[in-house]
Amino acid sequence: MGADHTRPTPSAPPRVRRILVVTVVPLFLATLVAAAILWPRDTRGADPGNEPPRFHGTVTKVVAEPCPPTPETPEGGLGTDGGPCGNVTVQVEQGPDAGRQVNTPVPTGPGAPTIAVGDEIILVELIDPTDPTTSMYSIAEHQRGKPLLWLVALFAAAIVAFGRWRGLAALAGLAASFAVLLTFVLPGISAGRSPLLVAVVGAALIMFVVLYLTHGTTAQTSVAVLGTLGSLVLTGLLGTLATTATRLTGYGSEEAITLSMFQTNVDLHGLLLAGIIIGSLGVLDDVTVTQAATVTELAQANPGLSRRQLYRSATRVGRAHIASTVNTIVLAYAGASLPVLLLLTADSRPVSQILTSEFLAQEIVRSAVATLGLIAAVPLTTGLAAVVTTAGRNTDGVSGDGTAPAPRPRPAAATRTEALEALSTFPVGPTARAADRRPDRDRNTDGIW
């Protein structure tokens, strides 16, 4: 693995660093205190006795058979089972029957796996409730551990090969994000804590760890942290107002209804807000880091730019970024909910009723609130970055060490004239004849060409 040739970020003046430390460190400590208070103490898992045991196995034989006719339907027709039908011989690799060959029916029904000899599958042991000593096996699904492991390995190798040490730090940040989600956010919500509060604290904790781990402890990263945190708070406030105004309950999906049956202490309205916060965090990181880096690069490319010029130039970059990110957010939500959207297209209700239904209104609020948070992140982060980048200068453009930034060189008049003559078929400059100059753009130029 070669060296990282990324240009280091210039160091901020000592006074600016002190201000950032005084601002960021208390926020980080407050996040740690809030996480300690909200950390779930009771982490009881699901009762394993309610789940049937699952074991690995390998298919050794498949015998297909004609499906028997089904009973006569109320309409008076005869049909056959959806198939396929037959028996499968599986060598059990785990459990009390490890090493034995067992027979099980070919799986049928919607979403049933297609079985072939040599497939590695997962068996479910079903016990007869009337006779606990009698049991049978059924094929649940394929084993997906190895393909997923190879895919994750390829994913990590590609990131490290391209990003090098920065890519390795990004993988560590990704692992930290999953750790916070699995050990704090999800258990905290399951324990009955406020989903919105847990999501805000968890998102802030992820933000501090990931940004500083991936981009280093620099003034530029601190600006991105402050911009992200401010945008997250604004997103939470907008989400609360939007869900209250639209009277969303959080029961807009089948998963939410099922969750309410198993965990009655979970606030589904707060869970909806928590999903908006967590979903916005990744895109907010992208926008704030990009804006902070853009201001820094512009200041390095032209040290003579004023604070207002830096802000305007970087904001133009932010506008282009937001224009593409808005489409990304909407398509991401649509792709995740594509099966439900297809069901809604077959609905006989008017379009206005479909769009204002609980499920679609919920997705519209998600997209709109996330987009508003992103739009607010651009001027907030860009303004902070412009202030921090130019903080070492005085009103005359002199830097904190008393030296003026090198002005951008301007080409001499003769050099500009020669360059224009090289790029144009028409002579330019004071020595060019009037007849040879470029004609008026409003006149017909067919004769000249």
Would you say residue 106 has pLDDT above 50? yes
| pLDDT value at residue 439 | 47
CA distance 177 to 170: 10
Looking at residue 419, what is its pLDDT? 53
Nearest to 230 by CA among 125, 99, 382: 382
User: Tokens 């939500």, residue?
Assistant: 333
pTM: 0.72
pLDDT tens-digit series, residues 219-268 = 889 999 999 999 999 999 999 999 999 988 888 777 788 888 887 778 88
Calpha distance 374→321 (Å, rounded): 10
Write the pLDDT tens digit of every residue in 278-320: 988 878 888 999 999 999 999 988 888 889 999 999 999 999 8
Q: How many CB atoms lie within 10 A of CB 220?
A: 21
**What is each CA distance from 280 to 11, 200, 283, 426, in whole angstroms?**
30, 11, 6, 54
pLDDT 10s digits, 192-211: 888 889 999 999 999 999 99
Q: Which helix (H) or strand (E) holds 402?
A: none
* CA–CA–CA angle 333, 338, 260 (5° rounding): 75
In which order are the strands placed within the sheet that holds 54-65? 101-105, 85-92, 54-65, 120-127, 135-142
More confident residue, 440 or 212: 212
pLDDT of 424 > 70? The answer is no
Query: Cβ distance 137 to 64 under 8 Å?
Result: no
SS3 102: strand
pLDDT the model gives residue 224: 92
Pairwise CA distance, residues 271 & 257, whole Å: 12
7-16 residue pLDDT tens: 555 566 788 8
Q: What are the tens digits of pLDDT across the range 132-188?
A: 777 788 888 899 989 999 999 999 999 999 988 888 988 998 999 999 999 999 898
Non-local CB neighbours of 386 within 8 Å, separated by 6+ positions: 295, 307, 308, 310, 311, 314
Residue 403 is predicted with a pLDDT of 46
